[in-house]
């Protein structure tokens, strides 16, 4: 079973007494060193079992997960696999309350019980589908790329796109509009490539490169109506740091914004946002579709002045009826005052928050250790630095759940290189809770996996296509031109 | 049963020849292949192969390829496999009625495979697939009735498809051929079963495509990774496969036509064709120039610097990559400045090759960067080389280097990840376990003869690495650690090779911190040349400590260079080992 050496000796539903050890057990004052770190996390009631392993040298494990009335006992060697069916029943029974996890381990022939910890189960569900790109976290050369959709209520996974089927071309990350499975897109590069647009299950391949634009569409976001998409166009340059564990610096020597009308195959441009003296990138629509939020920085000589390249957060009005972009740009977060550079903007579906990443400089935070998430309340403009959420390495590329109570983000906190999807709960008061990593059937999987999870994106339903559909449209259809 | 029958002796001789070829003439091709996979003993790794048709053949092929780490073991394995293939073809042929006189022809598929395996991109999984096919063919002909055979075929086809991929079609062809010849089934029965087999042959890949979406249909039709570049259709393998399935029938037919008294002639004729043709084929297939580069690279990888230099002494390297390896070895032995022009130099490309998106050049260039102290660049090239592998394998050599560079950089979490992977291998387990013991122990790493030194050599300030300005990068590296002799010598070598004497003279004083006992020979040659450009009597006036030998030779060189119209041949004879000759005559 996926290499898991787990022995589920007994799985029983019992009352609280079930977790009481019968033999000689020494109680230890300290938490077990479990991986993934699921100590005292808040979880949605529709999440898959939080299987974990213990990093201490243990010979045997006995884990008791106690709810209000029921409990599950799972036994393993150094990792456990919680039975899905019983897990779901337990979550439903305890919904809104806490699960207590008691880990007892046999070490050097002696049974030791660690300090128990809790899993807070909230009624606020998370969108059950998560798509991400699996890629080796490399430099310039890519190998096998896949866009995968995972059902996070279970461990089921399916491939939405695979570059094996598309002549090995590069494919960028898959994003949804309105967290709707039936509205999404991603870019396929290469000769037969184009932007693959999924609207209500109908796949289209569009050519987003229009005369006068500096590149194809790069970073993008859907208008709430699904009719428009706002994109940046970027000339992207990668450079290699020579110092210690610094890795890549990727910057734009030019970047502009464009809105694409998917109904009329037309580009909507605003000269103000296509200015060579200013770099604009990471555009998103507000929840009501009336604003475009984006990052903007004055152009500086690159790469020499890379450390002074700092992006503000700005916004400009958008009129969907008139198909016009406004002419006044507001700065809502000043990079110089905040001494940072903003990127990856995401507005919450309820319109209340703007979630973004701040790095010391530049526009590619995934290799910036200091890159952290920030949460801006768009009504009060107050900013939460999310200390409980951010890790010691880069935290970026986030996506909201449709109820605005959860977001997922890619974090390199474990080793600085391999990004993994973490889920964070925002309660009704706007307070963020400790995040937890996407559970896997085999909790040790992350240790041996050589792929990064890129741009995790939540959706309320599954995407209505698969890798074969993408192969077909890639090979058989010409990209629709835009004008 | 005879122990020393002629067929067994011929097979043994063939096996010995194959072994001798790969063990003594072509060993570094095997080492080269081994480094481009990371065979893990884990359940996940096994299951990753079995999700697609032909997975078993690939798995077994890669399982055996890991033993190429020691080339003689690899040679032995290839010899055994190719001999087994011949034995199987012979067994099938005999069962079908071939006469012993046609034994030599049964070596043809194995000889063809031998020639293919001279190409480092042909993978062992192909041989395994043909052997599995052979086993099924042997099983097929054990059945007494046509019905049994056809039922066996219909049951075997799905199984065989999963084991060897598209080559399963050869079993169907063989069995249908068998029934057509031996006529144990009525025409209607044969037609019905033939159509059923044909349907399976068509339907199985289509069905696989429905289930396994991530592979294109063409890949599912071929199945096995016969060639490192999966986009290539392995036509040569197809021909060998067809030969394996049809040769027994051909030999049966020839046996039936054979007239008495022709046996000796036939044997001689076949031996001449198989041995002569095989020799020609293998001579054409074997790429000894590549073998030389692979030998240099292997010795660099194993840090056998003296062997690299010994190779160059025996035969001067002429390819850019072998020159790169030699220069690295010279630098590691503190001989670069002294002896680099004693060998052929092909410019700065032979010092540090430019990055290209493949899996060979970055590996060698990465060695240079690593030993210089450009730890991040070495890490990048190890990663890029692995990513460039067209068959999506991981590289044991790259993963080792990634572990090393991350240890040096203090990124212990990610280093641990790579080391845990290496612990699941056969040959790298011990190394990984030892390396894991150093993790988090700064003292141990600082004391490590290589990692500790490279830690000291690393840059102390950040800058963006520019491959186009290698001299500038080398200068920064050396300036940040003036004990890094290799960085200085590469900087000097870069200036000399690019014929940038202005910067050579400018940078030369930086080497004071290295306390050379004497100025290296090539530097002396460059200095006296430069001094001579602006001073009428350089030998008397030069302020550097130039040896009398160099002074005498420059006089002789100058006399020939200025005294003869076409001085190059004369200078080549006497002065090909000098910087002056490189400066004037090497492009």
- pLDDT score of A14: 39
Distance, CA of B32 to CA of B295 (rounded, Å) = 9
Please name the helix (run of DSSP H) or strand (run of DSSP E) that holds residue B19, with its range, or none. helix B6-20
Q: Do A242 and B417 touch (CB under 8 A)?
A: no
Q: Which residue's structure tokens are 């050519």?
A: A207
Per-residue DSSP letter, B460:
S
CB atoms within 10 A of CB B202: 12
Question: What is residue B4's predicted lDDT score, i.e. its pLDDT?
Answer: 66
Q: CA A211 → CA A220, A264, A279, A481, B198, distances in Å? A: 19, 17, 19, 11, 52
CA distances from B153 to A75, B138, B208, B244 (A): 46, 12, 19, 17
Six-digit token pair at B245? 């399935």
Measured CB to CB, residues of chain B less than 8 Å from chain A are 42-44, 47, 209, 213-216, 219, 357, 374, 376-377, 380, 383-384, 386-389, 392, 394, 406, 409-411, 413-414, 416-417, 420-421, 458-459, 461-466, 473, 476
First to last CA, chain B: 68
Measure B373 CA to nearest chain A CA, in Å.
10
Residue B382 lies in a domain: no
The closest of B198, B242, B238, B236 to B222, measured between CA atoms, is B238
Distance of residue A239 Cα from the nearest chain B Cα, in angstroms: 6
| Alpha carbon of A242: minimum distance to chain B alpha carbons (Å) | 6
Looking at the domain assignment, is residue B83 inside a domain? yes
Q: What is the pLDDT of residue B2?
A: 60
Interface test with B, best of A133, A157, A242, A463 (most B CBs within 10 A): A242
Task: Give A148-190 pLDDT, tens digit per residue.
Answer: 999 999 999 999 999 999 998 999 879 999 999 999 999 998 8
The answer to the question of residue B59 being in a domain is: yes
Which of B286, B314, B339 marks a domain boundary? B286
For chain B, how big is the Rg over CA atoms in Å?
30
The residue of chain A with its CA nearest to that of B476 is A242
Secondary structure E strands in A123-216: 129-135, 146-151, 157-162, 175-177, 180-188, 194-199, 202-206
Test A243 with B459 for CB contact under 8 angstroms: yes
CB-based contacts of B82, cutoff 8 Å, min separation 6: B14, B15, B18, B110, B113, B114, B127
- CA neighbor of A411 nearest in space, from A398, A397, A399, A395: A395
- How far apart are the CA of A244 and the nearest CA of chain B, in angstroms? 5
> Which residues of chain B carry a pLDDT beneath 70?
1-4
Query: Residue for token digits 């080492």?
Result: B31
Name residue A259's beta-bridge partners: A230, A268
Residues of A in contact with B212 (CB under 8 A): none
Cross-chain CB nearest to A242 (options B392, B394, B462):
B462
The DSSP string of A338-405 is HTSEEEEEEE-TTSSEEEEEEESSSS-GGG-TT-EEEEEETTT--EE--TTT--SS-EEEEEE-TTSS
Please provide the average confidence, as pLDDT, over all residues in chain A. 93
CA distance A433 to B273: 78
| A246: confidence class by pLDDT, cuts 50, 70, 90 | confident
* pLDDT of A10 above 60: no
Q: Which residues of B touch A244 (CB under 8 A)?
A: 376, 409-410, 458, 462
Q: Is residue B553 part of a domain?
A: yes
pLDDT(A15) > 60: no
**Structural domain span for residue B556:** 517-587
For position A23, what pLDDT does the model report? 66
For residue A410, report the phi and psi dihedrals to the nearest 5 degrees.
-95, 125
Kindly determine whether residue A159 and residue B214, on different chains, have CB atoms separated by under 8 Å. yes
Interface of A with B in 225-264 (CB under 8 A): 239-247, 249
CB pair distance less than 8 Å for A165 and B214 = yes
Q: What is the ipTM metric for this complex?
A: 0.92
Range name among A256-260, A266-270, B438-442 with the lowest pLDDT average: B438-442
Write the residue in A140, A162, A414 that is nearest to B214 by C-beta. Answer: A162
Q: Give yes or no for residue A16 having a pLDDT over 90.
A: no
| Residue appearing with tokens 């109908």 | A202
| Residue found under tokens 């086993």 | B135
Instruction: Name the residue facing B376 among A146, A242, A418 (closest C-beta).
Output: A242
Query: Is A289 at the interface with chain B, CB within 8 A?
Result: no
* Gap between the Cα atoms of B149 and B137, Å rounded: 10
In a domain, B540, yes or no: yes
For B409-450, where are the alpha helices, taking DSSP H only?
412-422, 429-438, 442-447
From the list A138, A416, A445, the residue facing B387 with the nearest CB is A138
* Rounded-to-integer distance, Cα B365 and Cα B371, Å: 10
Distance from C-alpha of B222 to C-alpha of B68, rounded to nearest angstrom: 25
Interface test mutation site (partner B, options A244, A368, A411, max chain B beta carbons within 10 A)? A244
Report chain A residues whose CB lies below 8 A from the CB of B44. Answer: 2-3, 445, 448
The model's confidence at residue A3, banded by pLDDT at 50, 70 and 90, is very low
Quick one: pLDDT at residue B5? 87
| Residue A336 to chain B, least CA–CA distance (Å) | 23
Closest residue of chain B to A159, computed from CA coordinates: B214
Tell me which chain A residue has its CA closest to the CA of residue B380. A139
3-state secondary structure at position A292: strand
| Domain end residue (candidates: B286, B301, B329) | B286
pLDDT digits (tens, 9 = 90+) for B544-564: 999 999 999 999 999 999 998
The answer to whether residue A424 scores a pLDDT higher than 70 is: yes
| Partner B contacted by A136 (CB < 8 A) | yes
Strand spans (E) along A209-301: 217-222, 228-241, 248-261, 266-268, 278-285, 291-298
Contacts of B377 in chain A (CB under 8 A): 240, 242
User: Does A415 have pLDDT greater than 70?
Assistant: yes
B80 domain-assigned: yes
- Mean pLDDT for A41-56 is 97
A450 shares contact with chain B (CB less than 8 Å): yes
- B103: number of Cβ within 10 Å: 23
Residue A229 has pLDDT above 50, yes or no: yes
By Cβ distance, the residue of B42, B213, B386 closest to A159 is: B213
Nearest chain A CA: its distance from B482 CA (Å): 17
Question: Measured between CB atoms, does A37 come within 8 Å of chain B?
Answer: no
Query: How many structural domains are present in chain B?
Result: 2
Is B84 within a domain?
yes
| Candidate from B44, B209, B411 with C-beta closest to A245 | B411
Give the count of Cβ contacts less than 8 A between chain A and B.
117
Q: Using CB atoms within 10 A of its CB, is residue A476 exposed (0-12), middle (13-18) or buried (19+)? A: exposed
- For residue B471, is it within any domain? no
Domain final residue, candidates B229, B252, B286 = B286
At B371 the pLDDT is 97
Interatomic CA distance for residues B247 and B106, integer angstroms: 8
Q: Are B380 and A239 a contacting pair at CB < 8 A?
A: no
> Chain B closest CA to A473's CA: distance in Å?
14
Residue B145 C-alpha, separation from nearest chain A C-alpha, in angstroms:
42
Chain B residue numbers with beta carbons less than 8 Å from the beta carbon of A159 are 213-214
Q: How far apart are CA A454 and CA B366, in angstroms?
A: 27
Residues of chain A above pLDDT 90, percent: 86
What residues in A contact B410, CB-CB < 8 Å?
A: 244-245
Instruction: Say how far apart CA B455 and CA B273 lie, in whole Å.
Output: 60
């Amino acid at each position: 079973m996926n290499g898991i050496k787990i022995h589920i000796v007994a799985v029983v539903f019992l009352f609280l007494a079930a977790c009481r050890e019968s033999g000689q057990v020494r109680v230890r004052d300290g938490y077990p060193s479990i991986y993934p770190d699921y100590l005292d996390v808040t979880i949605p009631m529709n999440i898959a079992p939080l299987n974990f392993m213990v990093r201490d040298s243990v010979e045997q494990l006995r884990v008791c997960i106690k709810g209000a009335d029921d409990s599950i006992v799972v036994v393993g060697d150094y990792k456990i696999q919680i039975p899905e069916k019983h897990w779901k029943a337990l979550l439903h029974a305890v919904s809104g309350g806490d699960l207590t996890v008691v880990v007892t381990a046999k070490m050097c022939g002696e049974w030791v019980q660690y300090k128990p910890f809790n899993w807070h189960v909230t009624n606020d569900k998370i969108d059950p589908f998560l798509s991400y790109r699996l890629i080796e976290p490399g430099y310039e050369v890519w190998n096998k790329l896949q866009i995968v959709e995972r059902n996070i209520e279970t461990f089921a996974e399916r491939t939405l796109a695979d570059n094996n089927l598309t002549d090995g071309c590069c494919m960028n990350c898959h994003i949804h509009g309105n967290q709707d499975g039936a509205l999404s897109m991603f870019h396929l590069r290469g000769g037969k490539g184009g932007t693959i647009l999924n609207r209500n299950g109908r796949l289209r391949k569009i050519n987003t490169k229009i005369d006068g634009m500096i590149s194809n569409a790069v970073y993008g976001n859907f208008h709430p109506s699904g009719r428009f998409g706002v994109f940046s166009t970027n000339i992207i340059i990668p450079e290699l740091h020579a110092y210690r564990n610094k890795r890549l610096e990727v910057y734009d020597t030019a970047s502009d914004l464009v809105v694409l009308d998917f109904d009329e195959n037309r580009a909507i441009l605003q000269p103000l946002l296509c200015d060579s003296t200013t770099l604009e990138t990471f555009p998103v629509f507000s929840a009501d579709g009336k604003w475009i939020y984006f990052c903007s920085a004055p152009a500086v000589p690159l790469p020499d002045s890379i450390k002074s390249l700092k992006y503000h957060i700005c916004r400009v009005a958008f009129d969907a009826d008139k198909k016009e972009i406004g002419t006044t740009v507001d700065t809502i977060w000043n990079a110089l005052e905040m001494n940072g550079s903003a990127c990856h903007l995401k507005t919450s579906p309820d319109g209340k928050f703007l979630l973004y990443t701040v790095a010391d400089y530049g526009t590619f935070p995934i290799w910036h250790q200091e890159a952290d998430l920030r949460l801006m309340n768009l009504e009060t403009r107050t900013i939460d630095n999310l200390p409980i959420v951010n890790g010691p390495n880069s935290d970026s590329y986030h996506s909201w759940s449709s109820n605005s109570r959860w977001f997922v983000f890619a974090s390199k906190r474990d080793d600085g290189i391999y990004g993994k999807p973490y889920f964070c709960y925002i309660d009704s008061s706007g307070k963020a809770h400790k995040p937890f990593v996407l559970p896997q059937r085999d909790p040790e999987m992350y240790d041996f996996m050589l792929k990064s999870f890129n741009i995790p994106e939540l959706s309320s339903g599954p995407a209505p296509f698969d890798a074969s559909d993408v192969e077909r449209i890639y090979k058989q259809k010409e990209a629709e031109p835009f004008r | 049963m005879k122990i020393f029958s002629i067929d067994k002796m011929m097979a043994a001789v063939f096996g010995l020849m194959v072994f001798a070829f790969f063990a003594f003439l072509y060993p570094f091709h095997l080492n080269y292949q081994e480094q481009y996979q990371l065979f893990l003993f884990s359940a996940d790794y096994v299951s990753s192969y079995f999700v697609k048709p032909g997975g078993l053949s690939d798995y077994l092929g890669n399982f055996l390829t890991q033993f190429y780490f020691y080339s003689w073991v690899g040679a032995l394995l290839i010899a055994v496999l190719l001999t087994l293939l011949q034995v199987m073809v012979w067994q099938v042929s005999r069962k079908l009625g071939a006469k012993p006189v046609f034994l030599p022809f049964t070596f043809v598929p194995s000889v063809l495979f031998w020639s293919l395996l001279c190409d480092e991109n042909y993978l062992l999984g192909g041989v395994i697939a043909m052997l599995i096919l052979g086993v099924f063919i042997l099983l097929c002909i054990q059945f007494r009735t046509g019905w049994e055979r056809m039922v066996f075929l219909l049951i075997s086809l799905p199984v065989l498809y999963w084991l060897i991929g598209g080559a399963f079609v050869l079993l169907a062809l063989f069995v249908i051929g068998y029934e057509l010849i031996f006529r144990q089934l009525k025409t209607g029965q044969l037609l019905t079963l033939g159509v059923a087999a044909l349907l399976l042959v068509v339907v199985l890949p289509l069905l696989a495509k429905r289930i396994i979406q991530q592979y294109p249909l063409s890949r599912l039709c071929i199945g096995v990774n016969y060639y490192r570049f999966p986009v290539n259709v392995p036509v040569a393998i197809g021909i060998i496969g067809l030969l394996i399935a049809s040769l027994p029938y051909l030999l049966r037919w020839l046996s039936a036509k054979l007239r008495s008294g022709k046996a000796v002639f036939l044997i001689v004729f076949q031996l001449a064709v198989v041995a002569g043709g095989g020799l020609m084929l293998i001579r054409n297939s074997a790429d000894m120039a590549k073998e030389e580069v692979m030998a240099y690279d292997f010795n660099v990888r194993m840090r056998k610097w003296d062997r690299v230099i010994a190779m160059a002494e025996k035969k001067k390297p002429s390819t850019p990559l072998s020159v790169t390896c030699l220069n690295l070895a010279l630098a590691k032995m503190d001989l670069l400045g002294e002896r680099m022009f004693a060998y052929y130099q092909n410019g700065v490309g032979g010092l540090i090759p430019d990055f290209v998106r493949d899996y060979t050049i970055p590996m060698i260039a990465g060695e240079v960067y690593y030993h210089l102290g450009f730890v991040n660049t070495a890490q990048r090239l190890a990663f890029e080389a692995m990513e460039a592998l067209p068959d999506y394998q991981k590289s044991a050599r790259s993963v080792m280097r990634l572990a090393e560079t991350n240890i040096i950089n203090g990124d212990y979490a990610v280093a641990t990840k790579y080391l845990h992977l290496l612990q699941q291998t056969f040959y790298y387990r011990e190394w990984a376990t030892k390396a894991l013991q150093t993790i988090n122990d700064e003292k141990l790493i600082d004391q490590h003869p290589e990692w500790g030194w490279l830690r000291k050599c690393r840059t102390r300030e950040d800058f963006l690495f520019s491959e186009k300005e290698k001299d500038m990068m080398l200068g920064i590296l050396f300036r940040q650690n003036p004990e890094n002799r290799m960085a200085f010598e590469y900087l000097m070598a870069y200036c000399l090779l690019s014929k940038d004497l202005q910067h050579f003279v400018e940078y030369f004083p930086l080497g004071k911190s290295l306390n050379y006992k004497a100025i290296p020979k090539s530097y002396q040659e460059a200095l006296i040349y430069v001094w001579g450009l602006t001073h009428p009597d350089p030998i008397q006036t030069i302020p550097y400590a130039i040896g009398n030998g160099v002074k005498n030779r420059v006089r002789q060189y100058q006399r020939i260079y200025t005294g003869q119209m076409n001085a190059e041949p004369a200078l080549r004879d006497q002065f090909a080992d000098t910087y002056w000759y490189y400066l004037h005559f090497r492009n």
